[in-house]
Amino acid sequence: MSSSRATRGPTARTPNDLWQAARAQLRARGLWPLPDEAFQGVEGRLAGALPPVEASPRFREALAANLDLLAQHRRSGVIVKAEAGSRRGALVGLGIASLAAAAALVTLVVYLSRGVSRHPAQTG
């Protein structure tokens, strides 16, 4: 056994050694996933860099009171909806304005067409 090892020499590599070396090369090039241990250092640093942020007591209490009020309204059958926002109002306004503009345009066209049809009779 020892003689056979001697004939292979000190630089002889087993298939496992070759696989380890090949995998290391692939990992260095991002072609093979890194072991979980590779990320422990990064994860350790991240854990301390993203601390939780607490809400202010004033905000917490105010929101709790508002939620309680909403809950009581819902309980009593009053439906409280969140503010619809300006977008819906703008859309409704735009729709009404479009209808008004269309009506004005139709009126103008009808008025002008009548004026044109009367004009030859007045001159003749």
Partner 1 sequence: MTQMDEQAQILAAQQDPRAFGALYERYVDRIYSYVYHRVGNVHDAEDLTSRVFFRAISHIGTYKDQGYPFSAWLYRIAHNLIANWHRDRSRRPLVSLEDLVISSQPEEHPESRAQEEDDRELLTDVLQALDPDRRELLDLKFNEGLSNAEIGQVLGRSEGAIKSLYHRTLLQLRRELNKKGIEIDVEL
- With beta carbons less than 8 A apart as the criterion, state whether 26 and 32 touch: yes
Q: Is residue 77 involved in binding partner 1 (CB under 8 A)?
A: no
Task: Report the residue from 12, 18, 22, 67 that binds partner 1 according to the rule CB under 8 A.
Answer: 67
Q: Is residue 38 involved in binding partner 1 (CB under 8 A)?
A: yes
Q: How many Cα neighbours within 13 Å face the side chain of 63?
A: 6
Task: Report the residue from 5, 13, 74, 114 that binds partner 1 according to the rule CB under 8 A.
Answer: 74
Q: Is residue 49 involved in binding partner 1 (CB under 8 A)?
A: yes
What is the smallest separation between the CB atom of 66 and partner 1, expressed in angstroms? Answer: 7
DSSP 80-122: ------HHHHHHHHHHHHHHHHHHHHHHHHHHHHHHHHHHHHH
Q: Is residue 117 involved in binding partner 1 (CB under 8 A)?
A: no
Nearer to partner 1, 39 or 111 (CB): 39
